[in-house]
Homo-oligomer: A and B are copies of this chain.
Amino acid sequence: MSRPVKPIAAPATDTSASAHDRVYRALRARIMYGDIAPGEALTLRGIGREYGVSMTPARESLRRLVAEGALSLSSSGRVATPELSNERIEELAALRALIEVELSSRALPRAHMALIDRLQTINMTIAEKVSKRDAVGYIRTNLEFHRTLYLRAQAPAMLAMAETVWLQLGPTMRALYGRLRRTDPPQNHRLIIAALKAGDEPGLRLAVRSDVTQGLRLLVV
């Protein structure tokens, strides 16, 4: 089959229009949520075999991920998930702080009670993942918390930028949360919710900045 029928209203999590997009989305999720260890190598034919496509869509999805910084292109074409230096981690953490503080600030005036409820629900799921020591689930749910909040900012370009940073940090975050001993509940998330309820913008900015920065600080040796 060369081109599958285009779904009118894609289920947004299921089959997509094109093969390379399906492969891209699958790999992107695996990388962002830390399912792939830093330094792991990927081959075109391997990806193709794994997802039942030929080399062409595999190549396109890998190249797209390289363009977004999710994968690093070693000398002579080999691609692998990058092993970030401490300086780069610090940079990416600073970018997260800059962009996400702005996003939360823009979301604040639009944050209704329904949003806060949803954030609290997600928070409970996070606590559950933490207690189960499910690293991938933790990362995914944690990012879902942030994405849910930032979606209210109505700033798609900024959100895309933030997600690109998440993507670059994905393989490294896995290593971080493996190193994280204590099974602490998301304290900063509760500060974020409290600031949202109170309409306290400076408090919100501070809480988001702390939440984004503190985790990554552990990683810098």
Contacts and interface: CB of A to CB of B under 8 A. Distances in A.
Nearest to A76: B6
A157 B63 contact: no
B161 A95 contact: yes
A67 B59 CA distance: 14
Interface stretch (A36-44, A86-94, A186-194): A86-94
Nearest to A66: B64
A60 interface: yes
From DSSP, what is the main secondary structure of chain A's interface residues?
A: helix
B60 A158 contact: no
A78 to B, nearest CB: 13
A98 B102 contact: yes
This protein's copies in its complex = 2
Interface string A157-172: 1101100110010000
A144 interface: no
A64 B91 CA distance: 23
A157 B99 contact: no
A211 interface: no
A83 to B, nearest CB: 14
A68 interface: yes
Interface of A: 6, 59-60, 63-64, 67-69, 76, 87-88, 91-92, 94-95, 98-99, 102, 154-158, 160-161, 164-165, 168
22 contacts: A60-B60, A60-B63, A63-B64, A63-B67, A64-B67, A67-B68, A68-B68, A69-B157, A69-B160, A88-B156, A88-B157, A91-B155, A91-B156, A91-B157, A92-B157, A94-B158, A95-B157, A95-B158, A98-B98, A157-B168, A161-B161, A161-B165
